[in-house]
Every structure is written in structure tokens, then in C-alpha cells.
């Protein structure tokens, strides 16, 4: 397993950008915009463009969607460096990252079911909300070390959460830079004790994306503004795991003529459907304005 390089060992200043879809469906116009946005940012700077499959959710990701995404991007005229990194093939990397956080005393097992969390939250009428909904109320944070060990040893299903208050205290104040929005003070605490390893897989979106961007030497992370707040958590993980800090560019989200974001429900606006309807790659590029 390779470890991400610290920033000072980077030999050059080439821009490295990436498109990182989850193969849970066909690409639609919103994805096309995002992929072209990343690729053009790389090409404009004479940089490199990577494609990464974020396929850590075995229940939703499918190899046929992975193949369809590559086919659709190639049809659109995009080229990327091979091999494509597939997160499901690198679970050991994420275990390693978890062990580093564990060694800092920042993880704890959480045995709560979704229903238990809902019930706990319902008892607290003013439960705080974050970008992903209601914050985890912290039930398992106060479990004793011996209780945790006994429940884990008994095989009780659990995820691993970051002790956010302790993590923020260790990291101290942090900032990151977005090309559109400027310098941001990191506010990871708005997410509460985020899940870093799910019950069924030894990672989560936040951990895998942060680790992989560092490992792959990504210097410019482009993605939609729907993920803007997540970057606060990623910046914290970079500090805790001693990873380089890329620049960010969160782009606008493409919407349909009623102002709605494109989603999987918009079957007629998948690249596949547009191609079958006789649209050319140039027409699709014009539709997304890139």
C-alpha cells in the first residue's frame, strides 16, 4: 500500500484534476457538466485528468454502470489516465487511515441503528441539524472502553465515528481555498461526529475521497456546490492524517428548465438516452455550456 506524499515532496506544480462518480446509475447532464468542468480545468493548465470510481457502496454500485460511465465519457470526447482507481479495490488503504486516526484516540464504535438515532433525536426537540440532516446525538461516545470492547468482541454491528470535538481540538483552526468562493475557515463541527467507516464497509465517502485525492496527487478538487460543506470535514481529515491540501473549485449545479437539479429520475437526460436520440457529443457539450 502506498501512502500519500507530503506536499514538500511533490516534484512539480502540475494541476491534477479528477472526476469521481459513484457507479450507481447512468450519467446525466449534470454529471457531464461536472466531468467536462474538471477536464477543462486540467487541460487549461496543461495538467492531468483522472477518473475515479467511488464504488464503496456494494448495495448500490454495479460493474455495468462503471462500464457505461466510461463508455459515455469516452463518447463525449473525454480522455483520462489509466488505470482508473476503484475504491472497492483499496479497502486496505482506508483501514490504514482509520488506524492512524484510532492511534490519535479520535474514533469510537457506534452501535446505534438508524431507528435508535431517530428515537433519541425525537426526545430532544431542538436537536441540532447539519448539512446532512440531524446531528448524531453522541449516544455511543460515552460508552466505557470496556463496554465498547465487549460489544465489538461479541460481533455487534457498528460503524466508526469521528469524535469531532476532540478532532477539532487536536487540529486547531484550519482554512481551505475555493477558486470561486475564496478562503474558507473550516467548520467541520457542523457535521457532528461523522461516520468514517460504515457498518458494512471499512470507509465512508469523507474518508475515501480525502485519502484518494491525496494518494493520487490531486491538486484541484472540482465538484458541485452540493458538496461544498463536506470540504470542511475533508480539510480536518487532511490535518489529522498529515495529507497535502488541494485547491477546490465547487461549481454551480446544472438544473433543468424548471430549476430542478438533474437526478437519476431524469431518464431522458442521461447521456445514454441523448445519444440514442441522435444527439452528438458537440450538442451535449453545448447543452451544458462547456
Q: Is 93 among the residues that bind ligand GLU (CB under 6 A)? A: no
Q: Is 235 among the residues that bind ligand GLU (CB under 6 A)? A: no
| Measured distance CA(29)–CA(290) in Å, rounded | 11
Number of residues that bind ligand GLU (CB under 6 A): 7
- Identify the residue whose cell numbers are 441523448: 274
Q: Is 20 among the residues that bind ligand GLU (CB under 6 A)? A: yes
Of 15-23, 116-124, 138-146, 237-245: span binding ligand GLU (CB under 6 A): 15-23
What is the closest distance, in whole angstroms, from the C-beta atom of residue 226 to ligand GLU in the complex?
8
Of 14-22, 70-78, 82-90, 115-123: span binding ligand GLU (CB under 6 A): 14-22
Comparison of 222 and 240: residue with beta carbon closer to ligand GLU:
222
Comparison of 171 and 231: residue with beta carbon closer to ligand GLU:
231
Q: Is 54 among the residues that bind ligand GLU (CB under 6 A)? A: yes
Comparison of 20 and 194: residue with beta carbon closer to ligand GLU:
20
- Positions 247 through 266 that interact with ligand GLU (CB under 6 A): none
Q: Is 223 among the residues that bind ligand GLU (CB under 6 A)? A: yes
What is the closest distance, in whole angstroms, from the C-beta atom of residue 172 to ligand GLU in the complex?
24
What is the closest distance, in whole angstroms, from the C-beta atom of residue 22 to ligand GLU in the complex?
4
Distance from chain centroid for Cα 242: 18
- The DSSP-derived string for the chain is -PPPPPGGG------EEEE---SSS--BHHHHHHHHHHHHHHHHTT-EEEEEE----TTT--HHHHHHHHHHHHHHT---EEEEEEGGG-HHHHHHHHHHHHHTT-EEEE---HHHHHHHHHTSTT--EETTEEPP--GGGG--HHHHHHHHHTT---EEEE-HHHHHHHH-S-EEEETTTEEEE--GGGG-S-EEE-SSSS--HHHHHHHHHHHTT--EEEEEGGGTTHHHHHHHHHHHHT----EEEEEPPPB-TTSPBP-TT-GGGBHHHHHHTT--HHHHHHHHT-
Of 18-26, 100-108, 136-144, 281-289: span binding ligand GLU (CB under 6 A): 18-26
Of 19-27, 166-174, 255-263, 280-288: span binding ligand GLU (CB under 6 A): 19-27
Site string for ligand GLU, 179-218 (x = CB under 6 A): ------------------------------x---------
Amino acid at each position: 500500500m502506498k501512502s500519500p506524499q507530503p506536499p514538500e515532496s511533490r516534484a512539480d506544480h502540475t494541476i491534477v484534476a479528477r472526476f469521481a462518480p459513484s457507479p450507481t446509475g447512468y450519467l446525466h447532464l449534470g454529471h457531464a457538466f461536472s466531468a467536462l468542468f474538471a477536464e477543462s480545468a486540467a487541460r487549461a493548465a496543461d495538467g492531468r485528468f483522472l477518473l475515479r470510481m467511488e464504488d464503496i457502496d456494494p448495495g448500490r454500485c454495479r460493474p455495468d454502470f462503471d462500464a457505461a460511465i466510461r463508455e459515455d465519457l469516452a463518447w463525449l470526447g473525454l480522455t483520462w489516465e489509466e488505470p482508473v482507481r476503484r475504491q472497492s479495490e483499496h479497502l486496505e488503504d482506508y483501514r490504514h487511515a482509520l488506524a492512524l486516526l484510532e492511534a490519535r484516540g479520535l474514533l469510537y464504535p457506534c452501535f446505534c441503528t438508524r431507528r435508535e438515532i431517530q428515537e433519541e433525536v425525537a426526545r430532544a426537540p431542538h436537536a441540532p441539524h447539519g448539512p446532512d440532516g440531524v446531528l448524531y446525538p453522541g449516544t455511543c461516545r460515552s460508552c466505557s472502553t470496556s463496554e465498547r470492547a465487549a460489544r465489538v468482541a461479541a460481533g455487534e454491528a457498528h460503524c466508526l465515528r469521528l469524535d469531532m470535538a476532540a478532532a477539532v481540538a487536536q487540529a486547531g483552526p484550519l482554512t481551505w481555498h475555493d477558486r470561486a468562493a475564496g478562503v474558507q475557515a473550516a467548520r467541520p463541527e457542523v457535521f457532528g461526529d461523522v461516520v468514517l467507516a460504515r457498518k458494512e464497509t471499512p470507509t465512508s465517502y469523507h474518508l475515501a475521497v480525502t485519502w484518494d485525492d491525496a494518494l493520487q496527487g490531486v491538486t484541484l478538487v472540482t465538484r458541485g456546490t452540493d458538496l461544498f460543506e463536506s470540504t470542511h470535514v475533508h480539510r480536518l481529515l487532511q490535518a489529522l492524517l498529515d495529507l497535502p491540501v488541494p485547491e477546490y473549485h465547487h461549481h454551480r449545479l446544472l438544473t433543468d428548465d424548471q430549476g430542478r437539479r438533474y437526478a437519476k429520475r431524469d431518464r431522458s437526460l442521461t447521456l445514454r438516452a441523448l445519444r440514442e436520440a441522435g444527439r452528438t457529443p458537440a450538442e451535449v457539450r453545448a447543452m451544458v455550456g462547456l
